[in-house]
Amino acid sequence: MQRIILPRPDDWHLHLRDGAMLQAVLPETARHFARAIIMPNLVPPVVTLADAAGYRERILAALPEGTAFEPLMTLYLTEGTDPADVERAAGSGLVKGVKLYPAGATTNSQSGVRDLDRVMPVLEAMARIGLPLCVHGEVTSAEVDIFDREAVFIDRVLAPLRRRLPELRVVMEHITTEEGVAYAAEGGDTLAATITTHHLIINRNHILAGGIKPHYYCLPVAKREKHRLALRKAATSGSPRYFLGTDSAPHVDALKEHACGCAGCFTATNTLSLLAHVFEEEGALDKLEGFASRNGPAFYRLPVNTGTIALEKRAEPCVWPAKIISEVGPVTVFDPGFPVHWHVLP
């Protein structure tokens, strides 16, 4: 029997929502993860320090009794964001990053940024104090093919921004392409990239071949196989530039299985088992600790968690609930499509 023990991992990109959905999905993350970077794309979005402090209280109140979990809050960058509020937010210790959504790029991104010039004072303040910018890296122009939007974003938006403000610390969130992998590799220590669990497992065929599978649809959308392989290589490389951000994003089934279905894969429940499977396939189980437990804290300048978590490979496959039941409806748990034998020990 094989066993691995890791420092308790963190999720450096997570959607928890609010209200009944928060109540239903938070235990799925808190069971295995010590901390998570909490995405601010609520309706209305989490824009100010006061918004983030209120949301953080609601998360803590929704935790199951006796669970230790620390939400690391982010602010949603708008063209009206006040640099002084961002500085106060960083100083409070509650807020660990500011999220850039290009307006229209994804779920609840309408209040995001249309013109980067208008947020330069905020970005300059962040560069000065070392607060990371968490970037949804896709352009939104209708003429750019959806499968090219990440690579085009790097060329047209991210690279020029980093030339203009080289001290700005940037996390390229949920990279999905070999171009993303390559750009992150060369960025020096002001740049990092998160990788989701599902992008290590699915390519675009999983979404579209043999019938449309809405539960595999997320943004950035999964790309060709060569990109999935590049992500696997990066995640298992041992490079400190890459770490886990699940982008676990719950939507009720009624809105996933819909004529205009929402983007998001819900992987909080089975992420760690899936990662152990992937890292073992890549012959890199020894690199899982860096990816899930060490590289993220190093970039965010936080201590590695002191607790541990153990996984054990057993003959029988893991069994997860197919759905998490919330008061607003069921949420389908990501199905990798193959048996997984790495059990997280309680």
Binding site for ligand DOR (CB under 6 A): 15, 41, 106-107, 136, 218-219, 247, 249, 263-264
- Look up residue 141 and give its two tokens: 């122009």
Length of the chain in terms of residues written: 346
Contacts of 118 (CB under 8 A, 6+ apart): 79
**Residue 346, Cβ neighbours under 10 Å: how many?**
6
* Residue (6 or 195) nearer to Zn ion, CB: 195
The answer to whether the Cα torsion of 320, 198, 337, 212 is positive or negative is: positive
Q: Of 1, 64, 5, which Cα lies nearest the Cα of 345?
A: 5
- Look up residue 203 and give its two tokens: 């390519």
Task: Report what 218 binds from Zn ion, ligand DOR, none; CB cut-off 5-8 Å by kind.
Answer: ligand DOR
Minimal CB distance residue for ligand DOR:
218
Strands 95-100 and 170-172: unpaired
**Residue 80, Cβ neighbours under 10 Å: how many?**
10
**Residue 16, Cβ neighbours under 10 Å: how many?**
26
Q: Minimum CB separation from ligand DOR for residue 138, in Å?
A: 8
Q: Minimum CB separation from ligand DOR for residue 311, in Å?
A: 26
The C-alpha atoms of residue 179 and residue 189 are separated, in whole angstroms, by 18
- Per-residue interface string for the shown chain with Zn ion, residues 240-279, x marking contact by CB under 5 A: -------x--------------------------------
Residues 85-104 that bind Zn ion (CB under 5 A): none
Task: Report what 263 binds from Zn ion, ligand DOR, none; CB cut-off 5-8 Å by kind.
Answer: ligand DOR
The C-alpha atoms of residue 339 and residue 346 are separated, in whole angstroms, by 20
Task: Report what 107 binds from Zn ion, ligand DOR, none; CB cut-off 5-8 Å by kind.
Answer: ligand DOR
Task: Report what 172 binds from ligand DOR, Zn ion, none; CB cut-off 5-8 Å by kind.
Answer: none
247 is catalytic: yes
Strand, coil or helix: what is 102? strand
Minimal CB distance residue for Zn ion:
247
Q: Minimum CB separation from Zn ion for residue 4, in Å?
A: 27
Q: Minimum CB separation from ligand DOR for residue 264, in Å?
A: 4
**Residue in the structure block whose two tokens are 């959905």:** 21
* Residue (43 or 84) nearer to ligand DOR, CB: 43
150 is an interface residue for Zn ion by CB under 5 A: no
Q: Minimum CB separation from ligand DOR for residue 217, in Å?
A: 8
Catalytic position from the list 189, 247, 253, 335:
247
Q: Minimum CB separation from ligand DOR for residue 4, in Å?
A: 29
Q: What is the DSSP string of 99-138?
A: EE-BTTSSTT-TTSBS-GGGGHHHHHHHHHHTPPEEE---
The C-alpha atoms of residue 264 and residue 276 are separated, in whole angstroms, by 22
Task: Report what 41 binds from ligand DOR, Zn ion, none; CB cut-off 5-8 Å by kind.
Answer: ligand DOR
- Kindly state the number of chain residues that form the binding site for Zn ion, as judged by CB under 5 A: 1
What letter would DSSP give residue 265?
A: B
The contact set with Zn ion (CB under 5 A) reads: 247
Q: What positions carry a catalytic annotation?
A: 247
